[in-house]
Amino acid sequence: MSEPAARRPGRLAWADWLNRDRVVAWGGILLALEALFFGFMVMWHHGFFGRIDRPTTTDFVSFYAAGKLALAGTPALAYDQAAHAAAEVAATAPGIGYQYFFYPPVYLLLCAPLALLPYMVAFVLFQAVTLGLWLLVMRRILNVTGWDWCVPMLAYPAVFWTLGIGQNAFLTAALLGATTLLLDERPIGAGMLLGMVCYKPHLALLAPVALAAGGRWRSFAAAAAMVAALVALSVALFGIDTWRDYLTALAGSGAVYETGRIELTGFVTPYGAARILGVGAHAAQMAQAAVSVLAAAATGWIWWRDPGPAARSAALVAGILLSVPLALIYDLLLLTVAIAWLVRAGRATGFLPWEKWVLFVCFLVSLASRYFGQATHIPIGPLAPALLMAVCLVRTHRAMPERSPGLPAPRVTV
């Protein structure tokens, strides 16, 4: 007996018009517009169109200044705001806004070598190398030939947020993406790469839940061993006092974020969404805790059922952004790992109804989240990871032998 017409998704749900050729073409248009706007903003902030009242800089100056202090034999001063601010000014220009440094001392292992180079050389090298690593991982995940796929990937708006703010999201996405790629065939290597994310420990806290739920104990042990090794190396090079000062600075970091030093519209987490809506800090933390539990449970269930790498990997990165209170607009770049895995699965076994729309919305959220929040005070940042998690849950359910009959089969498109 055929499925009732009322239960069949309409043509709109499949979005057959959203094929590879159109994605590449429209991605090219978006990329060109973003590049023009990005170039204009760079020239504007560097005084090409007239005198600017205050010199601007990026988050990278925070990394560079911390590296300079480490090279000078005073790594603990990276957590002394006065000394760190002076190092930032020395690297750039007087009058710049201070960029905080709340990274653990393991990050100094990367910052110090970069600080051996002139500031602009270090900035360009860091962004170029990490961008290249991210693209290499994305190509492996997508499992495609040629290079036209780069166009929509580079057009993903969080790419330009990462470049413009001078952040390390390319590196984080590359490490998490490579972890998902190696997990089945090289579990120890995957765990080691995951352990390297400890320079941003809050973005790896959900990983133990996933690995434990999936029974990936070799990767779990390898990640723990890598973290221990990096911490030990940082203690050996920079001293235990640096860790004490880091923990002191970290304890006071919450107060910094509550001062409004970072705009709430830059947050892409449930906590940030609650604060934008006018919820108090304590209530927002409670809401975040509830969402974190749900995200951990959903991720754990998906990894326990183990339907395949696509749903597992996408759920991990989506769950990360849902489970932490602090993730900013450039951290949406992590979702490219989820998008790439779901596109690969869709090309191989078929896209689910509305799945292409979800991937499309991820682009829109990355493009408009901050500006839409500023204009309307309506937060949309968490929408993208939430929708991706929903897709992962559906894919996992469909992969189960006892899944309900009569659900529309995925549709394979190119």
Looking at residue 54, its pLDDT comes to 72
What mean pLDDT value characterizes the chain? 91
Estimate to the nearest angstrom the gap between the alpha carbon of 57 and the chain centroid.
21
HSE on the CB side for 237, CA within 13 Å? 20
Compute the distance between CA of residue 247 and CA of residue 250 in angstroms, rounded to an integer: 5
34 pLDDT exceeds 60?
Answer: yes
CB 180 within 8 Å of CB 312: yes
Q: How confident is the model at residue 2 (pLDDT cuts 50, 70, 90)?
A: very low
Span 188-226, pLDDT tens digits: 999 999 999 999 999 988 999 999 999 999 999 999 999
Span 57-97, pLDDT tens digits: 899 999 999 999 999 999 999 999 999 999 999 998 888 88
Compute the distance between CA of residue 47 and CA of residue 52 in angstroms, rounded to an integer: 6
SS3 content of the chain, % helix, strand, coil (to 5): 70, 0, 25
21 pLDDT exceeds 70?
Answer: yes
**Of residues 301, 309, 315, the one with CA closest to residue 392:** 315
Residue boundaries of the structural domains of the chain: 260-400+410-414
The amino acid sitting at 73 is G
For residue 412, which phi and psi values (nearest 5 degrees)? -85, 125
**Of residues 378, 348, 380, the one with CA closest to residue 361:** 380
Span 118-163, pLDDT tens digits: 999 999 999 999 999 999 999 999 999 888 999 999 999 999 999 9
Q: Which residue has the higher pLDDT, 45 or 244?
A: 244
Instruction: Enter the pTM of the model.
Output: 0.92
Partners of 351 in beta bridges: 411
Compute the distance between CA of residue 81 and CA of residue 101 in angstroms, rounded to an integer: 8
> Rounded to 10 degrees, what is the CA torsion of 22, 316, 335, 409?
20
C-alpha distances (whole Å) from 45 to each of 80, 89, 113, 164, 336 are: 28, 17, 28, 11, 28
C-alpha distances (whole Å) from 132 to each of 126, 150, 173, 174, 175 are: 10, 11, 11, 9, 12
